[in-house]
Structure 1
Amino acid sequence: MRSRVWCGTTAAVLGLLAAGCGGGAKDSASGDTAAKSVSDGYPVTVTDCAGAKTTFAAAPKKIVTSNASSLELLLRLGAGDEVIGTGFPPGKGTLPAALDARAQKVTVLGRAVIPKEKLLGSGADLYLDTFASMGGMGGAAGDAPTEAEYKAAGIKHIYLKSTACASTLKSPVPDLSAVEDDITSLGAVTGTGAKAKELVAGMKKKVDAVQTAVGGTARSKRPTYFFFDYDAGTKQPSVVCNRQVANAVITLAGARNAFADCDGDYQQVGWEDVISKNPDWIQLGVRNRGSEAANKKAFDGAEKWLRTNAATKGLKAVKDGHFLRIGSEQTTIAGVTNADTVQQIAKTLYPGKVG
């Protein structure tokens, strides 16, 4: 099975959520850094999934990110200058051109999970995690630091709650409000509240337009949709369940997640389960390889597998050629591009209705 290098969840997870804090000190959209005083928008308090609080008296100055998605969000917020290192770095060309050059300048502390000693000795004052603990993902990385070790190193440790805490949710995820809360919260923490507000407004505008166009479609009339996680392996498919952000993306786009009856974030099923669902559309979920040619090759590989495998070649979506070539990250990991994916799916499923 191909390793899901960017995902892993445990029962004990933390998350990022603003506790009613103000706009922030640095307007990253205009580059205005004059109002960085502690009193402007601070202190900011965030909570984890269990309700434990972390308070920031001022914006962090040395941030380490767990992976490319956390890094991308900070770059979009305008807090990229404060990032001193990352794990799971983005490949060259995997981020939009405006962000890619800056992302490539960030020090790589680990090609995968950042080794414990390197993270604790990084000099960071904030570690931003996209996922729950990845400590079990490989002995080479060593054990994940304990919260006591983070504290001793002077590192505040927070997560993107909409992704990290997905498996602990008690009900399905119907929309992108948790993602928007993460962006707002991170804006408050980093003093980029104005930019966070702008990003969230942009997301809402795109999603609202889709809802206006297709939101009134009766559920029974909506096509069924299967996210084929090609990079997670083909021997036993890993499907996105109703607590995963992809469930919200699919639902908002006017489709029905084929595995919306699965409680949790991900679940491994058998191909017989996929056959019984017989989806109308299949998204070829592959991770960004860093170039258009490499991505095309990966998408081609995923489609070829579905067309030639005895278990899947008879599926309705396969016979109809109903494939969507949309990357995994922008569908399953919290970020600004979730709204773009909603729009992209809706345009394909409802041609002529979505602008």
Structure 2
Amino acid sequence: MRSRVGRAMTAAVLGGLLATGCGSGSDEKASSAAGKGDSAEPVTVTDCAGAETTFAATPKRIVTSNASSLELLLRLGAGDKVVGTGFPPGKGTLPDELDAQARQVKVLSETVIPKEKLLGSGADLYIDTFASMNMGGGMGDAPTEAEFKAAGIQHVFLKSTACAARSKSPVTDLSAVEDDITSLGAVTGTSARAAELVAGMKEKVDAVRKAVGGTPERKRPTYFFFDYDAGTKQPMAVCNRQVANAVITLAGARNVFADCDGDYKQVGWEDVIAKNPDWIQLAVRDRGSEAANDKAYDEAREWLETNSATKDLKAVEQGRFLRIGSERTTIAGVANADTVEKIAKTLYPGKVG
């Protein structure tokens, strides 16, 4: 199994992240970007270290690193600007209204886009969603920032994933995700739609908070995110800087590894046994079809039920599993709010929705 821990800090400083520039003018810049394709004034974003990148005009040819960043652009109404993607969504894995649009996007790679193909794509913007997480097994021979510049490509990461390990405090809400959506809306000239998406997320999360927010901390069920695809020899815990910690917390549960600072950490099964969670999320990565996903969920559950180290866990003995994909929990996007709702409905039947 490959460790993602050491790579996270490296990837976090590789390129820009979607966050409005510092100061009170950021909201004005975001608002000015709304319109029919070109920003009325420049939009500035910053990277994890605060370095600025300015968009003098709305990007017209965008490449996305994976299905999650592609989905976000489609939801924003900027899908017509996307000229290519890596890690394409499987047919039918996106909502019906987005699936047909996704099928029209050129697939530059089924996995990480090769360096030469990315630099030669003709893109003027590359949105890198998950580099810091090493989703799918590594970034490959990624272009340097100088190479991106020479190719005329501006390179940005999403703040809530790229800078997770650098966060100075635990992530317990989706504000960073909402900021990413707002900033991406500013960059792509779709601020009005971004505002709608953020409002929808807030509405769902607020409804869950209203339903379960009064539950005392000690009575909230404990929750283990089982990253099956990260390997079973040593489990990979999601820590308190990862957006998944916010998703779990907002759903009214207690992440059993909320005490580790950072985004991810390799732990031992003895650590999981000591935590003895009430619930376990079978967090498999999207296989491209419902049937393939169901098979992966079944495999993850069977492993827990037959492995000598895990078969006696409380959640395993009681069959308390949630079949929720990894990406919708750990990668920033609109689906984070949906996952909050789905977890809460399972943990608090009759109280939510």
Category of TM-score, reference length = shorter chain: over 0.9
Q: Is the 8 A contact 1:24 1:187 kept in 2?
A: no
- TM-score, with structure 2 as normaliser: 0.92
Amino acid at match of 1:59: T
Aligned partner of residue 156 in structure 2, secondary structure? strand
Q: Is the 8 A contact 2:84 2:108 kept in 1?
A: yes
1:234 aligns with 2:236: no
In structure 2, how many angstroms separate the alpha carbons of the residues matched to 1:120 and 1:291?
30
Corresponding residue for 2:31?
A: 23
Partners of 2:209 and 2:251 within 8 A in 1? yes
Corresponding residue of 2:51: 52
Q: State which of 173, 176, 179 in structure 2 corresponds to 1:178.
A: 176
Q: How many residues align?
A: 342
What does 1:63-74 align with in structure 2 at a 5 Å threshold? 63-74=62-73
For the pair 1:327 / 2:325, whether they are aligned, the reply is yes
Task: Using the TM superposition, give the Cα deviation of residue 305 of structure 1 relative to its aligned residue in structure 2, in angstroms.
Answer: 0.8
Counterparts of 2:352 and 2:62 in 1: how far apart (Å)? 39
Q: Residues of 2 paired with 1:231 and 1:8: CA distance?
A: 17
For 1:180 and 1:324, the matched residues in 2 are separated by: 25
Structure 1 gaps of 5+ residues are 28-32
The answer to whether the 8 A contact 1:60-1:189 is kept is yes
Per-residue deviation, 1:67: 1.0
Partner in structure 2 of residue 85 of structure 1? 84
Q: 1:205-261: per-residue Cα shift (whole Å, max 9, x none)?
A: 000000001112111111100001111111111110100000000000000000001
- Aligned-residue RMSD, C-alpha: 2.0
Identify the residue that residue 262 of structure 2 maps to in structure 1.
Answer: 264
Please tell me whether residue 124 in structure 1 is matched to residue 123 in structure 2.
yes
Contact map agreement 2:208 2:344 (CA 8 A) in 1: yes
Deviates more, 1:141-150 or 1:240-249: 141-150
Q: What SS does the aligned partner of 2:308 have?
A: coil
Q: Please, which moves more after superposition, 13-22 or 264-273?
A: 13-22
Q: Take 1:8 and 1:329, find their aligned partners in 2: how far apart are those partners?
A: 18
Q: Give the match for residue 160 of structure 2.
A: 162
Alignment partner, residue 147 of structure 1:
145
Partner of 2:314: 316
In structure 2, C-alpha distance between the alignment counterparts of 1:184 and 1:170, rounded to whole Å: 22
> Counterpart of 1:200 in structure 2: which amino acid?
V
1:188 alignment partner in structure 2: 186
Shift in Å, 1:135: 12
Where do 5+ consecutive residues of structure 2 fail to align?
A: none
Preserved CA contact (<8 Å) 2:32 2:39: no
TM-score computed with the length of structure 1 as normaliser: 0.92
CA contact (8 A) 1:24 1:190 kept: no
SS of corresponding position for 1:22: helix
